[in-house]
Amino acid sequence: MKVGILTGGGDCPGLNPAIRGVVYRGMDFGFEFVGIEEGWRGLVKGIYRPLGLSDVEEIIYQGGTMLGSSRTNPFKKGGEKDLEAVLSNIKEAKFDAIVALGGEDTLGVAAKLYSQYGVPTVGVPKTMDNDLSGTDFTFGFDTAAAVGLDAIDRLRDTARSHRRVMVLEVMGRHAGWVAWYVGVAGGADWVTLPEEPLDVDAMVAHLNAVRARGKKYGLVVCSEGTELPALSGEEKAVDDFGHVKLSDRSVGEFVASTITEKTGWESRHAVVGHVHRGGAPTLFDRVLGMRVGIKAAELVRDKQFGQMAALVGTEVKGVDIVGATSVLKVVPPQLVELMKTTFK
């Protein structure tokens, strides 16, 4: 079989181990692999490279993706020519299957190609946001959260030294998993999530209480997707998938300035941003990437198309890709309440 592999959306650690897993397992079945560069743009433009053992052997410890990435969406409004090019290039290249590594957007395209056009696709779940349904964890999340945890531990030192509040903004567009884990594991005094509106009064009251009981510094973790009162109703730029661009929202800066204004407690902010995405994957992400990559090759072998390789408990299984991309996995109310018990 001739199998095309692509990686789309934001990069994250674990993509290269996953590519390696697909190729390593597929070699056992005699598959021919072709790397499709720059995500779905590579299928629109026909940008390919061969993938063999020598190409992937040394990439397990490397961050990013050797295939490049993009946020190209061939199903975007007015993008009929891109979709036609994708379908034509799949046929012309004689791909027997497409393995797509990505998050909700990239795998959403794979799901539509399978369900609407019969393209034999298999998905591999990647997102540092950990917001894909059908899988307990996605590779990239553990590394991203570990980077955030290191940041808050460092900020604690300077917050304590200067008797101020330090606000850390972490990534998380629709789901606050990174903020939740970083905040709970880092002992934050407050955490804001996309899952619930920012309650400024409650945050301010709690920080005042923290200072009143004698604590000389404070730590706040904010998800970049937190909805801010000052931003409601503003016109917002969107990408090819209709997502609001978050680069100019400055959630951490807003929260820090609000704390200073309403409490009089000096506050500063820091943004992890794209630092989350770089660097070598953790042990967990290397192993998970390899495991789901291996399972993807097995799904292709068994012609179980329209499925995604998912971590369910301790097992890696094939799950319906349409269902996995139809609803985001967000932080549930019970975990939000658990988090709040740590605010003392």
Active site residue ranges: 129
Count Cβ atoms within 10 A of the Cβ of residue 28 and give its class: 0-12 exposed, 13-18 middle, 19 or more buried: exposed
Q: Residue by residue, what is the 3-state secondary structure of the chain?
A: CEEEEEECCCCCCCHHHHHHHHHHHHHHCCCEEEEECCCHHHHHHCCEEEECHHHHCCCCCCCCCCCCCCCCCCCCCCCHHHHHHHHHHHHHHCCCEEEEEECHHHHHHHHHHHHHHCCCEEEEEECCCCCECCCCCCECHHHHHHHHHHHHHHHHHHHHHHCCEEEEEECCCCCCHHHHHHHHHCCCCEEECCCCCCCHHHHHHHHHHHHHCCCCCEEEEEECCCCCHHHCCCCCCECCCCCECCCCCCHHHHHHHHHHHHHCCCEEEEECHHHHHCCCCCHHHHHHHHHHHHHHHHHHHCCCCCEEEEEECCEEEEEEHHHHHHCECCCCHHHHHHHHCCCC
Nearest CA to 193 among 328, 329, 331, 327? Answer: 331
Two structure tokens written together for 183: 């905040």
C-alpha 149/C-alpha 132 separation (Å) is: 22
Are 133 and 233 contacting, i.e. CB atoms less than 8 angstroms apart?
no
C-alpha 328/C-alpha 116 separation (Å) is: 21
